A and B are shown apart, each in its own frame.
Chain A
């Protein structure tokens, strides 16, 4: 074999690819499911936390700040392993999928809260005063006046962070979640050939490049319009 043929055989072996494509296809579905769930629940969690924080009840805020700092600081892999191997010791057994979902939700929730909060703080005080002076209550002001502005301002950093965290779904491979990378590494060890990993890389690109573009689109959509 020429070096070129060896390269093609190692990374683009047609037989291996055809054989394992269905498995990797299943992995694609799992990855997408996991990613979508994480984005929804993570951002929802961040939003919920920032609403709570806005009420500025000191003990509640202290808890939120600690939560946010911890989950921003911990590498997600550590948390995944800790939950997956630790919880059964207290008779809580979660599937690998559930553990990865929970971990990434907490991490994204922490980052999203921090990003939203920066947005809330950057809305001018005059907005609160104007709204309150017309008789809107605290919660009404928060929901109709402050958060719409805060959220809009935070779209770019939030999109970036969301994409970065969602890519961590690949960590599921270490706890047996049948996502793309897991399927590909299994296929790789059975076939003794790296081609499934090439397919996995392409599959990740096919999923996340559109997400990056969607993020950019959202950013320009909301890029705004300052009063």
Chain B
């Protein structure tokens, strides 16, 4: 679909060993709901195949940041470049660019009137322009990848929360996005179902997917994240490897937050 990737080459912030291609590049992002400033100048880049993990207290603007990345929310200022194209440009072809950005929500948001398979094929048919047969094949492959090939004819209300979330992941994956955004993908799940979803995410990471994840699953971050970002009140307080952020946080706000979450 998007054969040659013409990413804008850019030098990334310090951290050694990081690949130089940013799939997602957020610069000086500001966003307000009326008078309420929610994002106050966010700079963040996610390199090819990297998993960046965002933590932060409730209301710090994590969801808003993710929603700005595909312009479900309209930023007031700043730029976001996805796969070399500026999605914040006034003339950006949103429906085209959004196919390159998968999004997974806390509440799954599967279409309840459609089967698992139809949930996946809808955008393949209507946006990517695949034939019915092609779309079906891609959907079955995507469902297989999340371990649900036997559930393709089930409706969302016939699936557990964990299964629904995996269908939602398949729905995004099927469009072959360049980057996937996860907004607390396991927060609405019963504890025993969290693992299934995290396994799928781990598997995607190993398969080379570029991911930006908001979550409270610190253990997963320890294992899978390349970078951890701590956000508070609309700014990035600090950022670094999981080891550094979790074990040696520099800022008091980070320490306070991690202290609270640990309990």
Q: Which A residues form the contact surface with B (CB < 8 A)?
A: 124, 126-127, 129-137, 140, 144-145, 148-149, 152, 224-227
A41 to B168, CA, bound (A): 38
Query: Could you show 7 A-B contacts with beta carbons less than 8 Å apart?
Result: A134-B127, A134-B172, A135-B95, A135-B98, A144-B122, A144-B126, A152-B113
- B213: min CB distance to chain A, Å: 15
Contact with A along B144-183 (1 / 0, CB 8 A): 0000000000011100000010001001100100000000
B156 proximity list for chain A (CB < 8 A): 227
Q: Closest chain B residue to A137 by CB distance?
A: B95
Across the A-B interface, give the 5 residue pairs with the lowest CB-CB distance, nearest first: A227-B112, A134-B123, A130-B109, A126-B109, A133-B103
- Contact of B72 with A by CB under 8 A: yes
Cβ–Cβ contact A225 & B157, under 8 A: yes
- Contact of B96 with A by CB under 8 A: yes
Known: A126-B107, A129-B105, A225-B157. A134 touches B175 (CB 8 A): yes
Cβ–Cβ contact B113 & A149, under 8 A: yes
Cβ–Cβ contact B98 & A134, under 8 A: yes
A129 proximity list for chain B (CB < 8 A): 67, 72, 103, 105, 109
Cβ–Cβ contact B96 & A135, under 8 A: yes
Cβ–Cβ contact B95 & A136, under 8 A: yes
B residues 84-130 in Cβ contact with A at 8 Å: 94-99, 101-103, 105, 107-113, 122-123, 126-128
Q: Which B residues form the contact surface with A (CB < 8 A)?
A: 67, 70, 72, 94-99, 101-103, 105, 107-113, 122-123, 126-128, 155-157, 164, 168, 171-172, 175
A129-B105, A227-B108, A227-B155 provided; 18 other pairs, C-beta below 8 A?
A: A129-B103, A129-B109, A130-B103, A131-B122, A132-B98, A134-B98, A134-B99, A134-B122, A134-B171, A134-B175, A135-B175, A136-B123, A140-B126, A144-B122, A145-B122, A149-B112, A225-B157, A227-B110
A225 proximity list for chain B (CB < 8 A): 112-113, 155, 157
B122 proximity list for chain A (CB < 8 A): 131, 134, 136, 144-145
Q: CB < 8 Å: which of B70, B107, B126 contacts A133?
A: B70
- B146: min CB distance to chain A, Å: 16
- B148: min CB distance to chain A, Å: 16
A130 to B165, CA, bound (A): 12
Q: CB < 8 Å: which of A127, A132, A133 contacts B111?
A: A127
A57 to B156, CA, bound (A): 33
A127 to B119, CA, bound (A): 11
Q: Closest chain B residue to A134 by CB distance?
A: B123
- B100: min CB distance to chain A, Å: 9
